[in-house]
């Protein structure tokens, strides 16, 4: 699946929408990504293939575990692991976290494979705006074992700054935790696809609001 097909898929299934929204970090935004709108096996399989292709292109076989932060990262991690095995011959473990640690049965805060010392972990997330969820996730993983968190993959890089004006949130997370943060595509490419000749997806008002938002929250 090329970038244009991926963007069209997100739009067709209402994962990508334009309007008035608020991000987890509290920013008012003219567009939003909600992978919770995916509801069929075919849809999550398509997303899993897109993530798996990107994981292989970025990390090769240098991955032992996929971690999906609760909640939307959970199906992403599972679908990506299935696609890695089926389409790329890589049998990679997967795990996700509970919002609250379980105090009965097997207990613990992780479900699925429990990482062990030395394993290379890639986090798969839907999107990150300010890097908040990743700053919660990495300490959880490193509290379980001496793992090597090698990367983070998201669907769309919003190209927004984190706590510094000159660095995007993804790049800031990469620097902070010593990992490689990457995205299947970014907002600039999304706009490019949706404003190609013959496309009328975005109105002039949409484009003005996107530009104003980028001026406010984009890197300087």
Q: What is the mean pLDDT of the chain?
A: 91
pLDDT above 70 (res 19): yes
Burial status of residue 107 (CB atoms within 10 A of its CB: 0-12, 13-18, 19 or more)? exposed
Rounded mean pLDDT, 44-70? 97
pLDDT above 70 (res 103): no
Q: Are 152 and 127 in contact (CB under 8 A)?
A: no
To the nearest whole percent, how much of the chain has pLDDT over 90? 75
Helices and strands per DSSP (H, E), number in the chain: 7, 8
Q: What pLDDT shows up at residue 106?
A: 54
Q: Are 140 and 148 in contact (CB under 8 A)?
A: no
Rounded mean pLDDT, 173-201? 94
> Which residue out of 24, 102, 113, 140 is catalytically annotated?
102
> Is-catalytic flag, 24?
no
Model confidence at 119, in pLDDT bands (50, 70, 90)? Answer: very high
Comparing 105 with 34, which gets the higher pLDDT?
A: 34
pLDDT above 60 (res 129): yes
Q: What pLDDT shows up at residue 136?
A: 85
Q: What pLDDT shows up at residue 216?
A: 93
CA distance 28 to 197: 29
Please tell me the pTM assigned to this model.
0.92
Q: Are 207 and 179 in contact (CB under 8 A)?
A: no
Q: What pLDDT shows up at residue 100?
A: 65
> Which residue out of 24, 99, 104, 113 is catalytically annotated?
104
Rounded mean pLDDT, 66-71? 93
pLDDT above 90 (res 34): yes
Helix (H) or strand (E) holding 193: helix 187-194
Helix (H) or strand (E) holding 170: helix 169-177
pLDDT above 80 (res 150): yes
pLDDT above 50 (res 105): no
Q: What pLDDT shows up at residue 107?
A: 52
Q: Which of 8-12, 69-73, 104-108, 117-121 has the lowest mean pLDDT?
A: 104-108
State whether CATH 3.40.50.2020 applies to domain 3-213: yes
Rounded mean pLDDT, 29-35? 95
Rounded mean pLDDT, 166-174? 91
Domain locations along the chain: 3-213
Rounded mean pLDDT, 164-168? 88
> Is-catalytic flag, 88?
no
């Amino acid at each position: 699946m090329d970038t244009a097909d991926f963007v069209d898929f997100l739009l067709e299934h209402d994962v990508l929408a334009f309007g008035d929204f608020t991000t987890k970090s509290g920013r008012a935004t003219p567009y939003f990504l909600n992978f919770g709108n995916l509801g069929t096996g075919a849809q999550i399989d398509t997303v899993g293939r897109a993530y798996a292709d990107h994981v292989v292109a970025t990390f090769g076989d240098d991955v032992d575990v996929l971690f999906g932060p609760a909640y939307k990262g959970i199906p992403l991690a599972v679908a990506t692991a299935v696609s890695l095995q089926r389409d790329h011959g890589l049998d990679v473990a997967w795990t996700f976290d509970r919002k609250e640690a379980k105090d009965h049965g097997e207990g613990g805060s992780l479900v699925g494979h429990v990482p062990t010392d030395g394993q290379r972990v890639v986090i798969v997330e839907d999107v990150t705006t300010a890097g908040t969820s990743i700053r919660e996730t990495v300490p959880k993983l490193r509290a379980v074992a001496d793992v090597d968190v090698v990367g983070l993959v998201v669907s769309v890089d919003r190209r927004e700054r984190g706590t510094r004006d000159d660095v995007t949130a993804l790049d800031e997370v990469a620097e902070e935790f010593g990992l490689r943060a990457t995205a299947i595509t970014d907002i600039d490419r999304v706009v490019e696809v949706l404003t190609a000749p013959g496309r009328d997806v975005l109105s002039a008002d949409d484009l003005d609001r996107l530009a104003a938002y980028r001026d406010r929250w984009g890197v300087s």
